[in-house]
Structure 1
Amino acid sequence: MLLKRSFPKVRWKYWVKPWQQVDWLLFCLPIGISIFGGIMILSTELKQPVTDWWWHWLVAGIGVLIALFLARCRYENLIQWHWITYALTSLSLITVMIAGTSAKGAQRWISVAGFNVQPSEFAKIGVIITLAALLHKRTASTLESVFRVLAITAIPWGLVFLQPDLATSLVFAAIVLGMLYWANANPGWLILMISPVVSAILFSTNWPLSAPIVSLNQEVSFGILGLVWVVAMGILGWRTLPWRRFGLNGISTAALNLLGGELGVFAWNHILKDYQKARLTVFLRPGHDLLGAGYHQHQSRIAIGAGEIWGWGLFKGPMTQLNFVPEQHTDFIFSAVGEEFGFVGCLVVLFAFCLICFRLLRIAQTAKDNFGSLLAIGVLSMIVFELLVNVGMTVGLAPVAGIPLPWMSYGRSAMLTNFISLGIVESVANFRQRQKYY
Structure 2
Amino acid sequence: MLKQYKLRFYNFRLVVFLLAISMIGVTLVGTAASDLKSKQFVGVILGVIFMLILSLMDYSWLMNFQWIMYGFNIVMLVIVRIAGNSANGAARWISIGSFTFQPTELSKIILIVFFAKFFMDNEEHLNTPKTLGLSAILLAVPLFLILQQPDLKNTITVIVIFCIMIYIAGLSYKIIGGALLIAVPLLIIFLSIVVQPDQKLIKDYQRDRIMSFLYPENEEYSDNIEQQNNSKTAIASGELVGKKLSGDDSVTSVNQGNFVSENQTDFIFAVAGEEYGFLGCVVIILLLLAISFECIRMSLRAKDLSGKILCCGVGGLVALQSFINICVATGLAPNTGTPLPFVSYGLTSLISLYIGMGLVLNVGLQSSTYNKEIMKKEIDRREEYL
TM-score category, normalised to shorter length: 0.7 to 0.9
Bigger mean CA deviation after superposition, 116-125 or 303-312: 303-312
Residue 225 of structure 2, aligned match among 294, 297, 310 = 294
Q: Does 1:154 align with 2:140?
A: yes
Corresponding residue of 1:260: none
Corresponding residue of 2:18: 30
Query: Superposed, which structure 2 residues align to 1:274-353 within 5 Å?
Result: 274-289=204-219, 291-313=222-244, 318-353=253-288
Kindly provide the CA deviation profile for residues 124-183 of structure 1, in whole angstroms up to 9, marking residues without a partner as x: 111111101111112334444333222111101110001111111111111101101101
Task: Give the aligned CA root-mean-square deviation in angstroms.
Answer: 2.3
Equivalent residues of 1:23, 1:429 under 8 A apart: yes
| Cα distance change, pair 416–339 in 1 and its aligned pair in 2 (3 A) | same
Residue 82 of structure 1, aligned match among 44, 66, 70 = 66
SS in 2 for 1:107: strand
Corresponding residue of 2:83: 99
CA distance in 2, matches of 1:96, 1:327: 22
Equivalent residues of 2:216, 2:222 under 8 A apart: no
| Offset at residue 96 of structure 1 (A) | 0.8
Larger Cα-atom Rg: 1
Corresponding residue of 2:343: 408
Equivalent residues of 2:104, 2:146 under 8 A apart: yes
SS in 2 for 1:318: coil
Equivalent residues of 2:292, 2:316 under 8 A apart: no
CA distance in 2, matches of 1:181, 1:82: 20
Kindly provide the CA deviation profile for residues 229-288 of structure 1, in whole angstroms up to 9, marking residues without a partner as x: xxxxxxxxxxxxxxxxxxxxxxxxxxxxxxxxxxxxxxx711311110111011111344
* 1:421 partner amino acid: G
| Offset at residue 192 of structure 1 (A) | 4.7
SS in 1 for 2:266: coil
Residue 177 of structure 1, aligned match among 133, 148, 163 = 163
SS in 1 for 2:95: strand
Give the TM-score taking structure 1 as reference length: 0.77
CA distance in 2, matches of 1:192, 1:327: 41
Residue 323 of structure 2, aligned match among 381, 388, 391 = 388
CA distance in 2, matches of 1:123, 1:192: 29
| Cα distance change, pair 334–195 in 1 and its aligned pair in 2 (3 A) | farther
CA distance in 1, matches of 2:361, 2:85: 34
| Cα distance change, pair 155–206 in 1 and its aligned pair in 2 (3 A) | closer
**Structure 1: runs of 5 or more not aligned:** 1-15, 212-267
CA distance in 1, matches of 2:280, 2:178: 38
Corresponding residue of 2:364: 429
CA distance in 2, matches of 1:28, 1:102: 37
Equivalent residues of 2:193, 2:199 under 8 A apart: no
Kindly provide the CA deviation profile for residues 57-105 of structure 1, in whole angstroms up to 9, marking residues without a partner as x: 1011001001000001100112210000000000110011111111111
| Offset at residue 35 of structure 1 (A) | 0.8
CA distance in 1, matches of 2:269, 2:195: 37
Query: Superposed, which structure 2 residues align to 1:6-45 within 5 Å?
Result: 19-45=7-33
CA distance in 1, matches of 2:61, 2:358: 14
* 1:302 partner amino acid: T
Equivalent residues of 1:392, 1:398 under 8 A apart: yes
SS in 1 for 2:91: strand
SS in 2 for 1:163: coil
* 1:31 partner amino acid: L
CA distance in 2, matches of 1:99, 1:356: 36
Q: Does 1:189 align with 2:124?
A: no
* 1:424 partner amino acid: L
Corresponding residue of 1:134: 118
CA distance in 2, matches of 1:429, 1:205: 42
**Structure 2: runs of 5 or more not aligned:** 375-386
| Cα distance change, pair 168–341 in 1 and its aligned pair in 2 (3 A) | same
SS in 2 for 1:57: helix
| Offset at residue 298 of structure 1 (A) | 1.2
Equivalent residues of 1:141, 1:183 under 8 A apart: no
SS in 2 for 1:116: strand
